[in-house]
Chain A
Amino acid sequence: MPSETVHGANTPAPRTVLRGARLLDARGDHGVRDLWLEGGRVEGFDLEGPAELELDASGLLATPAFIDPHMHLRVPGQEEKEDLASGLAAAAAGGYGTVVSMANTDPVVDDPAIVRALVEEAAALGLTRLRPAAALSMGLRGEQLADYAALQEAGAVMITDDGIPVADSHLQRRACEYAVELGLVVQTHSEDPSLRRDGVMHEGRASHTLGLPGNPDSAEAIMVFRDCEISLLTGARVHIAHVSSERGLRVVRWFKEQGVPVTCEVTPHHLTLTDTVWESFDPVFKVAPPLREASDVAYLREALRRGVVDCIGSDHAPHTRAEKDRDVLTAPFGLPNIEVAFPLLYTKLVIPGEITLPTLLNLMQAGPARVLGWPEPTLEPGAPADVALIDLESERPVDPASFKSKARFSPWDGEPLRGWPKLTLVGGRLAFRS
């Protein structure tokens, strides 16, 4: 991943040894070894000599810190929901070394100065690395392209109007054409706005029974199809965010089989929750795209096994508690999850044997790196010292009160999970320690 920015304090990262961890990365299982880090990079396994920081990692998994291609940090302008310090601390607590922040802030991230400020302020915090996405259209209004070259120069790694689907197909086409020559990934929030309308949940048996306005899966499938066709038309690297439905994912798969350069992500919540949670009428479950049916969840999980899904994107979307204490029609879309993403997926998918641990790690390390065109994260000498230490054994319940995120509520409140990160190093520096 890009590492030009000096991360954290302006002193060299201490020479560090993680003693007795099980080392696992994209190259395989390296067994129980000592992992040495120096100057912000991996130095090697089982080395000798003095260490400024020595950490007992026995019984823990050491693996490259995760990459999230899809996080809402709410900066600038919505700091009551999240700010850089809280959001990046939350990411570090989730075992993430790098996150891509979305541009639907206030003001919108459509100005190179905002991108530059985000990168600099985040680097100074010494937490998880921030690589901002920039807006696809000025003000996310879906009318005029943003200055992609200048935004990229300032540090933007992706363009997207995420949060608001690009209704105008012509604009989407031109954005893609322009992005190709810059090598920028175009991420799409693929839902047909004229079909989803005022839907607050998935349209199906549950929405009709509960009397809530529904958003059909065809709204997703239709827009995924358009966005994949535009990738084919323009050659742009299109990344479909948060695919939630079987219908939508089947479309992605069909285009992938034809060699169209599209990638996609799924979220932890779409892999673990269904629309029947709406019986509680709790707006914490209100997300866009909506939670689907059990058959969709099963298909998404199957797609993880088949390799159709490129990565996990958290779509961590914090709001204030008061905003989520509104009624279900007026509460905003989005839920916080970055601190529980790995334990949740490890407990719900890996432990029952639905996917393997290497598959899950791939979806959170090499997968998102490939989507963004970055080098594969490994523990090899010379790789950035972005490392997560994870306790796969101890079980503890989700406790939103202890979240680093300002959004201290969770759909999984009280749920016992395993796989909690104990420590996250970013550029060889401690970004999180539990």
Chain B
Amino acid sequence: MIPGSTPIDQRPTDTTPRHRHLLDLSDWSREAMLALFDTTDVMAQVMQRTIKKVPALQGFTVGTLFFEDSTRTRLSFERAARAQSADVISFAAGGTSLSKGESLKDTLRTIDAMQADLYVVRHPASGAPLQISRWTEASVVNAGDGRRAHPTQALLDAYTFRERYTGDAGFEGKRLAIVGDVAHSRVARSNVTAWTTLGAEVVLCGPRTLLPDELGERPGVTLTHRIEEAVEGAHAVMALRLQRERMASGLLPSLPEYRQRYQVTRARMQLAHPDALVMHPGPMNRDVEIEGALADEPRSVIEAQVANGVPVRMAVLYTLLVGSR
């Protein structure tokens, strides 16, 4: 085509991409994430008022669709919806007759008859929220799918860093170390996408059995099997929850050996940047992946992560439901 000959109706009218779904963060730009953080700031103020409710999503219905139990995440999303006056319908589909023997598509079709405007989906299989987005007119927010993505967790982790880091502002030149069971972690995958998109570097650390080499192929990401190397100079250190079944399935020899080699401890944090924050996506195994006393230090922002879950999810719901119309 001749340059400049693009018909008017095919020219981009708005450079800000509008998102209908939040499935993972791979199609979210740095600008889109920063705009969402600005919206989150507003939502955080709402949550500090005496009356913690605004009419922003009045008339919208949010359906939470949890094929895997997660009371914390579901409550956080439901709080985020109700604080904006949206109606909430909840389907706890995990292990019930709703999912037994029925295809995901049939289950979704049944639920879709309730005509929600947005579904919040948690599923043990990677990709299930993406599949669901193909079968409904509603927006879909991924609340964690298999090992693949947990985008709102990564957004709230990055937002918490932006809010709490006391050194110079911004993500450029900053380094996040993620330590532990990276292979099975959707939180790690989404944080890699979020932080590298925002301009930070990410160091992934864990034993070889829990840290596939291929994850280090992304620009801005490095791998190490030595925790000291990962923590050294890091501006934030995130410990991942270690599932006990990793020992039974032959991926790790023993808990004591894991602690000795990969526990995030006060001593190891001496190697980090002086302003470094300690993070954990929860739920936390105290004294397994993280030294219990470290979790209670002022540099630990684990409680702030939980608290920020609600305003971040408020901003996500608002952006998808209102920002796209």
Identity of the chain A residue whose Cβ is nearest the Cβ of B218 in the assembled complex:
A209
Shortest C-beta distance, B187 to chain A (Å), equals: 11
Contact B104 A211 (CB under 8 A): no
Shortest C-beta distance, A201 to chain B (Å), equals: 10
- State whether the Cβ of B148 lies closer than 8 Å to any Cβ in chain A: yes
- State whether the Cβ of A327 lies closer than 8 Å to any Cβ in chain B: yes
A204 and B103 CA atoms in complex are apart in Å by 28
Contact A322 B125 (CB under 8 A): no
Contact A212 B106 (CB under 8 A): no
Which residues of chain A are near B98, meaning CB under 8 Å?
Answer: none
Identity of the chain B residue whose Cβ is nearest the Cβ of A209 in the assembled complex:
B214
- State whether the Cβ of B282 lies closer than 8 Å to any Cβ in chain A: no
Shortest C-beta distance, A138 to chain B (Å), equals: 28
- Contacts A211-B146, A211-B186, A281-B127 given; does A325 touch B215 at CB 8 Å: no
- Contacts A281-B131, A329-B125 given; does A212 touch B103 at CB 8 Å: no
Shortest C-beta distance, B202 to chain A (Å), equals: 14
- Contacts A205-B217, A211-B189 given; does A327 touch B106 at CB 8 Å: no
Shortest C-beta distance, B191 to chain A (Å), equals: 13
Which residues of chain B are near A204, meaning CB under 8 Å?
Answer: 214
Contact B148 A212 (CB under 8 A): yes
Contact A208 B146 (CB under 8 A): no
Identity of the chain A residue whose Cβ is nearest the Cβ of B212 in the assembled complex:
A208
A208 and B214 CA atoms in complex are apart in Å by 7
Shortest C-beta distance, B59 to chain A (Å), equals: 31
- Contacts A208-B215, A209-B215, A281-B127 given; does A325 touch B106 at CB 8 Å: yes
Q: How many residues of A contact B (CB 8 A)?
A: 18
Shortest C-beta distance, A282 to chain B (Å), equals: 8
Which residue, of B106, B146, B149, B217, has the highest number of chain A Cβ atoms within 10 A? B146
- State whether the Cβ of B124 lies closer than 8 Å to any Cβ in chain A: yes
Contact B149 A211 (CB under 8 A): yes
Which of A189-230 touch B at CB < 8 Å?
204-205, 208-212
Which residue, of A205, A211, A212, has the highest number of chain B Cβ atoms within 10 A? A211
Contact B128 A211 (CB under 8 A): no
- State whether the Cβ of A328 lies closer than 8 Å to any Cβ in chain B: yes
Contact B128 A327 (CB under 8 A): yes
- State whether the Cβ of A356 lies closer than 8 Å to any Cβ in chain B: no
Which of B208-242 touch A at CB < 8 Å?
212, 214-215, 217
Contact A281 B103 (CB under 8 A): no
Which residues of chain A are near B149, meaning CB under 8 Å?
Answer: 211
A323 and B106 CA atoms in complex are apart in Å by 10
Instruction: Select one of A205, A281, A325, A330 contacting B126, CB under 8 A.
Output: A281
Contact B189 A327 (CB under 8 A): no
Which of B284-320 touch A at CB < 8 Å?
none
Identity of the chain B residue whose Cβ is nearest the Cβ of A329 in the assembled complex:
B125
A278 and B189 CA atoms in complex are apart in Å by 17
A421 and B147 CA atoms in complex are apart in Å by 44
- Contacts A204-B214, A205-B217, A281-B131 given; does A326 touch B126 at CB 8 Å: no
Contact B147 A327 (CB under 8 A): no
Which residues of chain B are near A322, meaning CB under 8 Å?
Answer: 103, 105-106
A280 and B146 CA atoms in complex are apart in Å by 15
Which of A325-363 touch B at CB < 8 Å?
325-330
A87 and B130 CA atoms in complex are apart in Å by 32
| Cβ proximity bits B158-181 to A, threshold 8 Å, 1 near / 0 not | 000000000000000000000000
Shortest C-beta distance, B291 to chain A (Å), equals: 28
Contact B212 A281 (CB under 8 A): no
Which residues of chain A are near B127, meaning CB under 8 Å?
Answer: 210, 212, 281, 327-328
Which residue, of A204, A210, A327, has the highest number of chain B Cβ atoms within 10 A? A327
Identity of the chain B residue whose Cβ is nearest the Cβ of A324 in the assembled complex:
B103
A205 and B218 CA atoms in complex are apart in Å by 10
Which residues of chain B are near A205, meaning CB under 8 Å?
Answer: 214, 217
- Contacts A209-B215, A211-B149 given; does A325 touch B103 at CB 8 Å: yes
Contact B214 A330 (CB under 8 A): no
Contact A211 B131 (CB under 8 A): no
| Cβ proximity bits B179-196 to A, threshold 8 Å, 1 near / 0 not | 000010010010000000
Which residues of chain B are near A209, meaning CB under 8 Å?
Answer: 189, 214-215
Which residues of chain A are near B214, meaning CB under 8 Å?
Answer: 204-205, 208-209
A315 and B183 CA atoms in complex are apart in Å by 32
Contact B215 A212 (CB under 8 A): no
Shortest C-beta distance, A73 to chain B (Å), equals: 23
- State whether the Cβ of B123 lies closer than 8 Å to any Cβ in chain A: yes
Identity of the chain B residue whose Cβ is nearest the Cβ of A205 in the assembled complex:
B214
A323 and B105 CA atoms in complex are apart in Å by 10
Which residues of chain A are near B147, meaning CB under 8 Å?
Answer: 211-212
Contact A210 B123 (CB under 8 A): no
- Contacts A211-B126, A211-B147 given; does A326 touch B215 at CB 8 Å: no
Contact A210 B126 (CB under 8 A): yes
| Cβ proximity bits A273-299 to B, threshold 8 Å, 1 near / 0 not | 000000011100000000000000000
Contact A327 B123 (CB under 8 A): yes
Which residues of chain A are near B126, meaning CB under 8 Å?
Answer: 210-212, 281, 328-329
Shortest C-beta distance, B248 to chain A (Å), equals: 13
A281 and B124 CA atoms in complex are apart in Å by 13
Which residue, of A204, A209, A281, A282, has the highest number of chain B Cβ atoms within 10 A? A281
Instruction: Select one of A208, A282, A325, A330 contacting B125, CB under 8 A.
Output: A330
Contact B124 A326 (CB under 8 A): no
> Can you give 24 A-B contacts (C-beta < 8 A)?
A208-B214, A209-B189, A209-B214, A211-B126, A211-B149, A211-B189, A212-B126, A212-B127, A212-B147, A281-B126, A281-B128, A322-B103, A322-B105, A322-B106, A325-B105, A325-B131, A327-B104, A327-B123, A327-B125, A327-B131, A328-B125, A328-B126, A328-B127, A328-B128
Apart from A281-B126, A325-B131, A327-B128, list 9 A-B contacts with CB within 8 A: A205-B214, A208-B214, A210-B148, A280-B130, A281-B131, A322-B106, A327-B131, A329-B125, A329-B146
Taking beta carbons and an 8 Å cutoff, which residues of B are in contact with A? 103-106, 123-128, 130-131, 145-149, 183, 186, 189, 212, 214-215, 217
